[in-house]
Amino acid sequence: MHKRVACCLLINFSLERILTEQPSLRTQPVALAEGAHPAALLVAVNEPAAQSMVQPGLTIAQAHTRCEHLVVLPRDDHAEQKLTRKVVRTLQRVGPFVEGTRRGICFLEAAGLTRLYGSESQLAERIIATVSPLGYPVAVGVGGNKFVAQTAAAMCPSGSYHIVAPGHEKHFVTDLPVQAMDITPDTHQRLHLLGLRKVHQVAAIGGNELVRRFELDGRTLSTRCLGGDYQLFAPECPDETIRERLVLEFPVTTVAALIAHLETPLSILLTRHRQVSNLGCQALRMRLTLDDYTLHEVTVAVEPPTLQAKPLLRQMAQTLAQQRLTSAVREIELAIARTGTLVAEQLTLDHHRRSTTPANTKRRQITSLPFLPEQYPAQAIELDHTSAIWEHPFARRSISGLRLLPAPRPVTVGMQDEQPTTITLARRCQHINHIQGPWDLSGGWWHHEYARRYFELETASGRRCLVYHDRLIDRWYLQGMFD
């Protein structure tokens, strides 16, 4: 099954939120700024303001010289986040897996929803019909990844949709202007000076040359010129809150005893949460019922988000030690109050954790496998780019389904336009339908140098595998298979 993502885009989100709440401003020239200072930049303008030659990027002082009666309003981050959360809850009535990390832009996992709604066109119509009653202009795009879906939605007028068929992502982005790429203004200016206006002109340079010239933005350009995207799809949990309740046989009066009782229900809570979401726990809510039948609620926050019980237990002990309770604790209820995206380092093969992995989970958890530096040098990574941009290859889904081979196995991989097209498995040449990557790992120059480019491939038969290209000896190897 092809990966499919639907993007629900609220058009001109920040400004439309204010105009919807204050309809009397629609006939006046209105602009939205990042702040109230005269040097603050405008981020959005309505049609009357645009007719007065006011445009985004001007300062407030510059805008007032062009339009004396311009109404400038500061951007309200809290209100925008609140509205985005409302849209996410609305879209969860259409499908369970919704991401709302960007303001005014939400993504849905669309691959399985076509069986429910009949087709992607009917799914897009259902999204528009569900969100439109909120009173904001909405457009929908459907594609193979978040970048293609969002770009398709941005091309649509209000109340319409655009669908990019599976396998047509590269053709879709060919004639796009370079402004559609998520790159810095400096790179935009350099491309403009080079006379590059369209994506196909940028693609003609080649991936390696783009990375050499534009560094981090070059990686973005090389990926998106092929219709790909390295952004992760991180859906939020549905509104149903997962809870664990523990009734104590005897009232507890000390923090140490309370933490000892909390270890098991917390582990169960995190396991249940992991089954429905790939996000980590960022805040945990504890509701304590005391011996005098009064309620005491405590919120425990951790940074970064985690799915491990130990850091949460440590923070819970510190938080509970600061509380003043009127009597002993008789009953405890745990619930995850807030979630967040796991950082890439939390998803690496950390050999320091293998000694703490319970014996009954060693078959399921990849972190319990022996760490072999010569097979997977995850602890000595020297990335080509900064860790703020680089995404771990296993961050998209749980890594518990990956089975590493005892030793990497040589395989034959066919290439076209620097992307794998075929792979030979079990003496059979199979076509590749879906690609994730590449992810570059290098280092070890002080001992055993390695330079590898990893790909996650899905064949026409539905098999998913992890392969890498050893760039030092120009050979391909099979690292493992996904169940």
Query: 6 and 64, same structural domain?
Result: yes
At residue 343, the pLDDT reads: 58
At residue 463, the pLDDT reads: 85
Give tens-digit pLDDT for 152-201.
999 999 999 999 998 888 888 888 888 888 788 888 888 888 888 888 88
Residue 175 placed within a domain: yes
Give tens-digit pLDDT for 96-139.
888 887 888 999 988 888 888 889 999 999 999 999 998 899 99
At residue 6, the pLDDT reads: 93
Residue 128 placed within a domain: yes
Number of domains in the chain: 4
Query: 261 and 211, same structural domain?
Result: no
Query: 411 and 301, same structural domain?
Result: no
At residue 399, the pLDDT reads: 45
At residue 447, the pLDDT reads: 62
At residue 350, the pLDDT reads: 38
Residue 235 placed within a domain: no
- Among 27-31, 222-226, 455-459, name the one with the lowest average pLDDT: 222-226
pLDDT range class, residue 445, cuts 50, 70, 90: low
Strongest mean pLDDT among 137-141, 215-219, 257-261, 274-278: 137-141
**Domain stops at, among 164, 193, 213:** 164
Mean of the pLDDT values across residues 286-313?
86
Residue 95 scores a pLDDT above 90: no
Query: 319 and 251, same structural domain?
Result: yes
Q: Residues near 346 by Cβ (< 8 Å), separated by ≥ 6?
A: 280, 304, 306, 307
Task: Tokens for 92, please give them.
Answer: 């969860």
Looking at the chain, the whole-number percentage of residues with pLDDT higher than 70 is 85
CA-to-CA distance for 420 and 414, rounded, in angstroms? 6
At residue 246, the pLDDT reads: 87
Q: What pTM, to 2 d.p., does this model score? A: 0.51
At residue 378, the pLDDT reads: 39
Query: 295 and 317, same structural domain?
Result: yes
- DSSP string covering 134-197: GSS-EEEEEESSHHHHHHHHHTSPTT-EEE--TT-HHHHHTT-BGGGS---HHHHHHHHHTT--
Residue 431: C-alpha distances to residues 37, 197, 423, 479 (Å): 57, 33, 7, 18
Give tens-digit pLDDT for 333-376.
998 887 877 654 444 433 334 334 444 433 333 333 333 333 43
The mean of the pLDDT values for the chain is 80
What residue numbers bound the domain in which 185 lies? 171-224
Query: 117 and 21, same structural domain?
Result: yes
For the beta carbon of residue 462, count every other beta carbon within 10 angstroms. Answer: 9
At residue 130, the pLDDT reads: 92
At residue 367, the pLDDT reads: 33
Omega within 30 of 0 (cis) for the link into 438: yes
Mean of the pLDDT values across residues 38-59?
88
**Domain stops at, among 116, 145, 164:** 164
Query: 387 and 335, same structural domain?
Result: no
Residue 448 placed within a domain: yes
CA dihedral 304→310→312→317, nearest 10 degrees, is -130
At residue 160, the pLDDT reads: 93
Residue 88 scores a pLDDT above 70: yes
Query: 249 and 211, same structural domain?
Result: no
Mean of the pLDDT values across residues 284-301?
86
Query: 426 and 369, same structural domain?
Result: yes
Residue 238 placed within a domain: no
CB 420 within 8 A of CB 395: no
Check the CA dihedral 16-20-22-23 and report its sign.
positive
Query: 374 and 319, same structural domain?
Result: no
Q: Residues near 185 by Cβ (< 8 Å), separated by ≥ 6?
A: none
Q: At what angle do helices 120-131 and 77-91 cross, to 10 degrees?
A: 130
Residue 9 scores a pLDDT above 70: yes
| 285 three-state secondary structure | strand
Give the CATH number of the domain where residue 37 resides. 3.30.70.270
Residue 418 placed within a domain: yes
Query: 211 and 155, same structural domain?
Result: no
Give tens-digit pLDDT for 373-414.
334 343 333 333 333 334 444 444 444 477 888 888 889 999
Query: 259 and 216, same structural domain?
Result: no
Residue 353 placed within a domain: no
pLDDT range class, residue 20, cuts 50, 70, 90: confident
